[in-house]
Amino acid sequence: MTSSNILTTRPLFSVARVTVSTVDKLTVEGEQTVRLCNYTDVYKNSEVYPGLDLMEATATAAEIRQFRLCVGDTVFTKDSETADDIGVAAFVSGTAEDFVCGYHLAVARPIVTEIDPRYLYWWLASQEAAGLWGVRASGVTRVGLRQTDIRRFPLRVVARKEQTGIADFLDRETAQIDALVAEQRELVRLLEERRSSMIWRLVTKGVRQTTMRDSGVRWLGSVPSHWGVHRLKNSVASSKSGVWGDEPSGDGTDVRCVRVADFDRPRLRVHDLDITMRSVESRDLRGRGLCDGDLLLEKSGGTARNPVGFVVMYEGSGPAVCSNFVSRVRVKPEQVARYWLYAHAASYTHRLTQRSVKQTTGIQNLDEGAYFNEPFPYPPHDEQVEIADRLDSSTARMDTMIEAANESIALMLERRAALISAAITGRIDPRTGQEIKEAS
C-alpha cells in the first residue's frame, strides 16, 4: 500500500446522509402514486433504477421528498430473518420523481466532497462490511439494525483520488465477471426451458411415432390415438395429509419428517441436506408413513415465485412421514409412479396446477379435489415405463450440465467478492490489478 493510499476509519454519518425509510407497500387514497424500491429489488440486484419491475404504492409528499432515491445513493437492507441478509447493498443508477425507497431499507446519500459515491457502494457491498453489519444486528425472530448503529458504522476510506481509482477498477473488473455470469445464467435458463419442454412433450405425446387424435381438451391438443384421457384422480390410489408431530423426544418415536424445504425441485426428489426429526405416534406412522416411490405433493404454503402444487418423489427406506403441509400420494398398481411424477411436473410448469390454488390469509392452499379432477393423458403401462426411462436419462444429462453451469456461477461470484474485498482493503493496486506485497 502506498503512502498516499493509507486507510482511515470514519463513521458513515461523516461521509453520507443516512435515512431509514418508513414507506410501506399500502395504497392510501389521497396520497401520490410512487414506484417503490422494495427489499427484494435490492436483494436481487446490484443496481436499482426506475426501469426495474417495481411495485406501485402511494406515499405522502413529505415521504417522497425524504425517501426519493437519487443517482449515486447506496440503498441497503437493514433487517431480515437472518443476520446474513443484513447490509445487502445496491447502487442507485437512475432516478425519477416517483422513485421511492421502501420499508426495511436504509439509504446512504454520499457527501461527494468526502467520498466517491461508487467507492461508498463498493465498500458497503464488500464482505468486510457484511461481517461488520452481522455483528451489529440484533433480534430473535427477526434481526435488524438500529439507526444509531447504521450512522456510526465504521467505514474505511482512502484519499479521494484513490477512491475514484478503486471504484473505476471495480466497475471495470466486475463488469467482465458479471457478463460471464449472465452468460452462464442464460445457459441455465435455456437448459431448464428445454428440460421443461421435453417433459411436457413426452408425457403428452409419447416417445413413439404414431397416429394422433384430438384429445377433446383445448389446452392439451392432440394425443396418441391409442391413449386414454382421464381425470388425474384415476391414477391415484390414495392421497393422505402428512403430520408434523412433536419435538424430538429420544424415546424411539423420532422419525424423519419431510418438509417442503426438503424438495429438490430441479431433480424432482427429496434432498438430505437438512433432515428434520419429529416425534410421531405409532398410529400416525402406520397410516401416514412414507415408502420408497411415494409422490409428495405440496398442498399448503407456496410463494409468488413457487406456488403450491409441486410434486417430488420420496426415495428412502427408513421410517419417515411428510409434514402437514404435504400430501402423500400413491398411484394405483397399474400406473407407473415415475411417469406420474413427470406428469405432475409438466402440469406445474404449464400452470395447470395453479388453476386449483386458493389464497387465504396470506397462505396458498391447493384444492386437491379440483386439481385431481383435471384431465390428463393416460399412456398404456409399457409406454409409461418407456417415457419415464427416457426422461430419467435425458433429464440426468441436462441436470449435470445445469449443475456445472451453477458451479461455474458460484466460483465466479466468489471471485467477484474476493476481488472487491482485496481492492477495498488495499491488497490490490487498482492501477495494475496486481497484489500489493507487504514490505518485509
Cα separation, 92 vs 293, whole angstroms: 50
Cα separation, 431 vs 440, whole angstroms: 22
Residue 246 DSSP class: B
**2: helix, strand or coil:** coil
> Which residues are paired to 378 by β-bridges?
228
Location of C-alpha cell 402423500: 328
CA atoms 36, 41, 43, 46: torsion sign: negative
Per-residue model confidence (pLDDT) at position 6: 61
Task: Report pTM.
Answer: 0.82
Residue 242 DSSP class: -
Closest by CA position to 353, among listed 365, 337, 336, 361 = 365
Cα separation, 102 vs 90, whole angstroms: 13
Contact 27, 55 (CB under 8 A): no
Location of C-alpha cell 424500491: 37
- The answer for 29, left when phi > 0, alpha when psi is -120 to 50, beta otherwise, is beta
Contact 421, 128 (CB under 8 A): yes
Cα separation, 110 vs 131, whole angstroms: 22
Closest by CA position to 54, among listed 2, 92, 111, 14 = 92
Phi, psi of 408 (to 5 degrees): -65, -40
**Alpha carbon 196 to its chain's center:** 19
**Within 13 Å, how many C-alpha atoms sit on residue 303's CB side?**
4
* pLDDT in 10s for each residue of the chain, 440 residues: 444 456 689 999 999 999 999 999 988 999 999 999 999 999 999 999 999 999 999 999 999 999 999 999 999 999 888 888 899 999 999 999 999 999 999 999 999 999 999 999 999 999 999 999 988 888 877 889 999 999 999 998 999 999 999 999 999 999 999 999 999 999 999 999 999 999 999 999 999 999 999 999 999 999 999 999 999 999 999 999 999 999 999 998 999 999 999 999 989 999 999 999 999 999 999 999 999 999 999 999 988 778 999 999 999 988 999 999 999 999 999 999 999 999 999 999 999 999 999 987 778 999 999 999 999 999 999 999 999 999 999 999 999 999 999 999 999 999 999 999 999 988 888 888 777 776 54
Per-residue model confidence (pLDDT) at position 60: 96
Buried-state track 143-178, b at ≥16 Cβ within 10 A, e below 16: bbbeeebbbebebbbbeeebbebbbebbeebbeeee
Contact 415, 366 (CB under 8 A): no
Residue-wise DSSP of 163-204: HHHHHHHHHHHHHHHHHHHHHHHHHHHHHHHHHHHHHHHHHH
Cα separation, 9 vs 17, whole angstroms: 17
Per-residue model confidence (pLDDT) at position 433: 78
The beta-carbon contacts of 433-440 under 8 Å, at least 24 apart in sequence, are 433/169, 433/173, 436/1
Closest by CA position to 280, among listed 254, 241, 242 = 254
Amino acid at 45: N
Residue 262 in grid coordinates? 426438503
Per-residue model confidence (pLDDT) at position 369: 96
Cα separation, 120 vs 78, whole angstroms: 17
Q: CA distances (Å), 367 to each of 221, 239, 321, 364, in order?
A: 25, 12, 21, 10
Cα separation, 154 vs 20, whole angstroms: 18
Residue 93 DSSP class: -
Q: CA distances (Å), 94 to each of 17, 65, 90, 109, 338, in order?
A: 19, 16, 12, 14, 49
Per-residue model confidence (pLDDT) at position 297: 98
Per-residue model confidence (pLDDT) at position 2: 47
Contact 324, 245 (CB under 8 A): no
List of domains in the chain: 7-157 (3.90.220.20), 228-378 (3.90.220.20)
Amino acid at 372: F
Q: Where would I find the H helices in 271-318?
A: 282-288
Closest by CA position to 136, among listed 156, 152, 120 = 152
Cα separation, 174 vs 75, whole angstroms: 19
Residue 84 DSSP class: G
